[in-house]
Amino acid sequence: MTRAWSVAAVVVAAWLCVSGAGAARAQVRPSGAADAVFLAGEGVVGGALTVDLWAPVGALLRIGGVLGVGGLTSDDDARSRIFMPAGASVSLVIGAERRPFFELRVRGGLWGGATNQGLAASGWLAGGAYFGYALGPNVAIGAGVSAWWLAGHGGILAVAPGITASWQPLED
């Protein structure tokens, strides 16, 4: 199992490097989002902050990476942790040109951090839906809910309601 996650981490890192090199050649202007979520699952509560950075692919799709920090507490020592999720991020924005819009996000990769047993790492996956409101042509705020899965060390599945602020590049 550890070898599979190592291979996955290498593939994600290589993809991010290659997509970054392609973005630099094409002069793609990145867009992104910053989120704050409350995490609640069976026997765990906590929260996380994440930042996504995307390169637009057409009018609706954005592909990039995500980095964050979070913490969970539980009566079960194996499930309490401070963690940093990192990985790939994909966003599909429906109706981005309108003030109210809808967005779907999927993220996945690895998390590393500390549990009560010491340093730990494993896989991470999250997916959710957000409703947003454009404050202007380049900045929006929103609220939504996602589901988070943190593998390993007592595995955690949590519901994550949260808020988001997103931006897109200025037009020439």
pTM: predicted TM-score of the whole model, two decimal places: 0.80
Measure Cα distances from 15 to 5, 56, 89, 106, 131 in Å.
15, 16, 12, 16, 29
Residue 30, pLDDT above cutoff 50: yes
Q: How far apart are CA 161 and CA 172, in angstroms?
A: 35
Counted domains in the chain: 1
SS3 29: coil
Looking at residues 125-141, what average pLDDT do you find? 92
172 within a domain of the structure (yes/no): no
Query: For position 98, which CATH number holds?
Result: 2.40.160.20
pLDDT at 137: 79
Full domain range(s) for residue 38: 2-167
Is there a domain that residue 23 lies in? yes
Specify if 90 maps to a domain.
Answer: yes
CB 32 within 8 A of CB 56: no
pLDDT digits (tens, 9 = 90+) for 53-73: 999 888 889 999 999 999 999
